Structure 1
Amino acid sequence: MSNFEKVETNRLILREFIEADIQGVYQYASDPDVSKYEPWGPNSLKQTEEFVRICIEYQHQKDRVDFELAVTEKSSNKLIGACGLHISDKGNREGWIGYVINKLYWRKGYGTEIAEKLLDIGFNEFKLHRIYATCHPNNLGSEKVLQKIGMKKKGCLRKNMWCKDSWRDSLLYAILEDEYNQG
């Protein structure tokens, strides 16, 4: 799969980014609450434009391995976040997932819905063997999502990321293909 047709969940559509998404992305990416545990942000409009440009460039990768997608709510057609599936090691069939949601849409189960769909795509379409995700140790909402989708905590990567002028830890979660298929 080199290009991503829109993918639907019960309440969401995951689709390729387009230039018209810049303002929707800027709405959440410029919010300090949303970017609190992220290595980026709060983003300026210029940084947001650059992010969307990179996401559009991913769509033209030969042997594509980076899928950064816009998340829209079906009922309103409003862009509410972004998510990604990145194939980090083709030979070992390994990838990682991530997601970010506008705070107006937190605590509605959207993170879980997104992450479940990313696992489905990773295991069923890309035939990955292992998918992992990381989150800031204080990001309890994201950690709960990773647990809900069946990922197991593998440990803490100590001071593995330079983030906003200091080193930060990351919790590492992962799930294997056979664990996913048993679930």
Structure 2
Amino acid sequence: MPYPCGPRISLRDFTSADIPAVREYTSDPEVTHWSTWGPNTLDQTTSFVEDAARAHLNEDRTAYSLAAVLDGKTIGSVAVWTTDPHDGNGELGYTFHRDHWGNGYATEAANQLLTFGFNTLQLERISATCHPDNIGSIRVLEKSGFTLEGRLRSHRLVRGARRDSLFYSILRDEHANPVAATTFQ
């Protein structure tokens, strides 16, 4: 299946060859600090990549965990999935190697996911959550056109502690010209 491709970042299905690159950032406590998972062991990373790599075999696939690739190297993991097919709702998320933070790669990938979610998955609304102190993720969501809908109090149990999340969403007609935003490969 063709995925959206931006000027710098391309998205593709994972392969087992991605395990070392994914391991670099999923085992990094700084990368996983705001996540609900991690730092991951090698076994956890291997399981994630292998499960994601097998997903393309599912003809009724409604969830896409994809490799974000820069110059042939996997530098992040991105995902978009359907949460309610009847209402056309979905979610997205992303994690990038910290060596690539602050370069706009996550924003570019988020826009590719939005294009894919609205055009291919036929979603009408896509949401995302992040920790209230995760300034980088907040910026990615805002630059991608998401609207802050509110704060979900005690939303997640992470490493034994309750935490809040900020809740963002974007509607199909709010995504700026999704067809022209990226090309498909």
TM-score normalised according to structure 2 size: 0.91
Corresponding position of 2:181: none
SS of the aligned residue for 2:57 comes to: coil
Whether the 8 Å contact between 2:14 and 2:52 is mirrored in structure 1 is yes
Corresponding position of 1:57: 54
- The answer for unaligned runs of 5 or more in structure 2 is 179-185
CA distance in 2 between counterparts of 1:6 and 1:65 reads 14
Corresponding position of 1:73: 70
CA distance in 1 between counterparts of 2:42 and 2:108 reads 28
Whether the 8 Å contact between 1:97 and 1:118 is mirrored in structure 2 is yes
CA distance in 2 between counterparts of 1:83 and 1:168 reads 23
Matches for 1:3-152 after TM superposition, within 5 Å: 4-74=1-71, 77-152=72-147
Structure 1 segments of 4+ aligned residues over 6 angstroms from their partners: none
Highest relative contact order (Cα 8 Å, sep 6+), 1 or 2?
2
Q: What is the total number of aligned residue pairs between the two structures?
A: 178
**Partner letter of residue 111 of structure 2?**
E
Could you say if the C-alpha distance between residues 56 and 182 of structure 1 is closer, same or farther in structure 2, counting changes exceeding 3 Å? Answer: closer
Whether the 8 Å contact between 2:129 and 2:165 is mirrored in structure 1 is yes
Whether the 8 Å contact between 1:19 and 1:53 is mirrored in structure 2 is yes
- The answer for unaligned runs of 5 or more in structure 1 is none
CA distance in 1 between counterparts of 2:133 and 2:58 reads 34
Question: What are the Cα deviations for residues 114-152 of structure 1, in whole angstroms up to 9, with x where unaligned?
Answer: 001111111122221100001111110000110111110
CA distance in 1 between counterparts of 2:145 and 2:173 reads 12
CA distance in 2 between counterparts of 1:149 and 1:37 reads 20
SS of the aligned residue for 1:87 comes to: strand
Whether the 8 Å contact between 2:4 and 2:113 is mirrored in structure 1 is no
CA distance in 2 between counterparts of 1:25 and 1:14 reads 14
CA distance in 1 between counterparts of 2:27 and 2:47 reads 13
* Superposition deviation, residue 22 in structure 1: 0.6
% same residue: 40
RMSD: 1.5
TM-score normalised according to structure 1 size: 0.92
Whether the 8 Å contact between 2:3 and 2:116 is mirrored in structure 1 is no
